[in-house]
Amino acid sequence: MTERTNDTKLRWPLPAHDYWSTPFAESLLQHLVLSPGDSILDIASGHGIPAFYLAEQVGTTGQVLAVDLSQRQVESARMIQGTNLPCLQFECLDMRALPPHLPCFDRITGNLSVMFLRPNRFEAVLGLVEHLKPGGQLVLTFPSLGTFDSLWRRIDQEMAVRGLLVERRRLEAYLAERPSADEVRGWLDKLQLSRIVVAEYPLEVATGTGQAFLHHPLLRGGFLDDAYECFDDQRLADEVMTRVSDDVESFSPLIAQRCVLSGWKL
């Protein structure tokens, strides 16, 4: 836990209006042990959740380096930051291949990060641990195996009715690559981290039918796009997904599994 508990006085709290990143960040902070003066590497930092919060926690004696592969995200975060929080720096870097000159950190965090470590996730986590100081903590969050399973079953059902064998195989391959809690625990065991914790917290995502579903801010631009990518013919994809969108009640509630992995380097 962070040492500061009265978040109402923070200038940079987790944003209440972000219904996806903030719940995962809350799970991350639940397991993160943090003190003023800590140095932190925050991977897949996006637009700064929870990098801004972390920077305020470590204070002027600490350091937060927030990295993301997207230059657009980095520039957006820098605009939000302005001249505030001089201990926080946003950089465009590939977290799967960190430069060897990068220093080691007291903490490495990554909210909604594990999915972006593909294709070689274990090797990417190994690279992160190499930049962790002895006695340092790694804490990452991601939507784990089981997330939105009811949705995937309904899409597969619609594909099956239409005899879409190729599309079904692609969907199956996408689902098969999602890491499970047991798999990531195996990574940390293999890396010989100590005080390992892997926990899952369910998050229900509410949505309406039709266009409300197809353009839901937590689904489109991520999970639903992965379903669309199973199709070569986007008109066919629209037909299938429109049919699915009219049948939301059959696969509600939509449950995401917020998975947190935490381990300490000996």
pLDDT attached to residue 5: 43
The single-letter DSSP state of residue 69 is S
Q: How far is CA 115 from the centre of its chain?
A: 7
Question: Residues 62, 115, 139, 260: is their CA dihedral positive or negative?
Answer: positive
Question: Which ranges of the chain would DSSP assign to H, the alpha helix?
Answer: 21-31, 51-58, 71-81, 121-129, 149-161, 165-176, 181-190, 211-214, 223-228, 234-245
pLDDT attached to residue 154: 98
Tokens of 266: 């000996």
Q: How far is CA 175 from the centre of its chain?
A: 16
Length of the chain, in residues: 266
pLDDT attached to residue 6: 45
pLDDT attached to residue 4: 45
Tokens of 162: 């239409």
SS3 88: strand
pLDDT attached to residue 222: 78
Per the confidence metrics, is the pTM higher than 0.95?
Answer: no
Cβ(199)–Cβ(31) under 8 Å?
yes
pLDDT digits (tens, 9 = 90+) for 49-81: 999 999 999 999 999 999 999 999 999 999 999
Cβ(132)–Cβ(104) under 8 Å?
yes
> Could you give phi then psi for residue 124, rounded to 5 degrees?
-65, -40
pLDDT attached to residue 217: 86
Q: Domains, the chain, ranges and CATH? A: 7-143 (3.40.50.150), 149-174+207-251 (no CATH)
Which residues have C-beta within 8 Å of that of residue 77, sequence separation ≥ 6?
A: 45, 46, 47, 48, 51, 66, 68, 90
* Alpha-carbon span 228 to 133, nearest angstrom: 42
* Alpha-carbon span 140 to 134, nearest angstrom: 18
pLDDT attached to residue 139: 98
Per DSSP (E only), the strands in the chain are: 39-43, 63-68, 88-92, 105-110, 132-143, 194-205, 254-264
Residue of 244, 178, 180, 177 lying closest to 216 (CA atoms): 244
The one-digit pLDDT tens for each residue of the chain (266 residues) are: 544 444 447 899 999 989 899 999 999 999 999 999 999 999 999 999 999 999 999 999 999 999 999 999 999 999 999 999 999 999 999 999 999 899 999 999 999 999 899 889 999 999 999 999 999 999 999 999 999 999 999 999 999 999 999 999 999 999 988 899 999 999 999 999 999 999 999 999 999 999 999 999 889 877 999 999 999 999 999 999 999 999 999 999 999 999 999 999 99
